[in-house]
Amino acid sequence: MVQSSAVDVDAYLAEVPEGRRDALAGLRRLCRAELKGFDEVMAYGMPTYMREGAAEIAFASQKQYISFYLMRSDVREAFEERLAGRDMGKGCLRFRKPEDVDLDLVRDLLRAVATAPGAVC
């Protein structure tokens, strides 16, 4: 499942493979708890968290991994040491297995994003 046509995040979670559903639901819970004032929407076929019309966070179930999209380069730079050695793309952190999702790291990233708006890539 690379891109979903689900109309909302509940429908998205219902269609992901069962083995990944708990991990993705955990990411959603963290996003909803930490990203106060953000809108939860489906954009680009995945759950996305927007502030003032800008997508700053998203997550998705990809074919080979779970992706956590961090569109804020300032936050990525601030967490450079903690992100070193992790499987990362330009704007995403990849977890190969659901049990690899590091909720403590994600929580800290979300808190950093929530503190103030910043430029998105």
- Residue 68 CB neighbour total at 10 angstroms: 24
Domain coordinates in residue numbering, the chain: 9-115
CATH of 9-115, one of 3.90.1150.200, 1.10.260.40, 3.30.420.300, 3.30.1950.10: 3.90.1150.200
Percentage, residues of the chain above pLDDT 70: 98
pLDDT higher than threshold 80 for residue 69: yes
pLDDT band at 23 (very low <50, low <70, confident <90, very high): very high
Confidence of residue 45 (pLDDT cuts 50, 70, 90): very high
- pLDDT at position 117, please? 85
**Once rounded to an integer, what is the mean pLDDT over residues 71-77?**
94
CB-based burial of residue 14 (10 Å sphere; 0-12 exposed, 13-18 middle, 19+ buried)?
exposed
Average pLDDT, the chain: 94
Tokens of 53: 């019309």
Question: Residue 2's pLDDT band (boundaries 50, 70, 90)?
Answer: low
